[in-house]
Amino acid sequence: MSGAGFESMKALIVENNAHMRSLLRVLLNSIGIKEIAEAANGQAAIDSLRERKSAAAQRHDQGIQLG
């Protein structure tokens, strides 16, 4: 399956079943998505997004170009 257009995408898998998260990761990788985060529940997903936003803001404040 072609991954055209998906290489620059990021994904967050939110699923309480670890086996299903693993299967979803394989599926997303197969279409070209390489940057994948996982969360076992909604609160963990929100925390993950907040951490990523904070890290991105810090890199931006330090003058690092975000891709």
What is the pLDDT averaged over residues 50-62? 73
Give the bridge partners for 10, in sequence order: 35
Q: What is the mean pLDDT of residues 39-58?
A: 87
**pTM for the predicted model, two decimal places:** 0.73
Mean pLDDT of the 46-54 span: 89
Q: What distance in Å separates the CA atoms of residue 67 and residue 65, rounded to the nearest whole number?
A: 6
At 64, is the pLDDT very low, low, confident or very high (cuts 50, 70, 90)? low
Q: Give me the mean pLDDT over the 14-42 stretch.
A: 97
Residues 33-45: what's their mean pLDDT? 95
Mean pLDDT (the chain, rounded)? 86
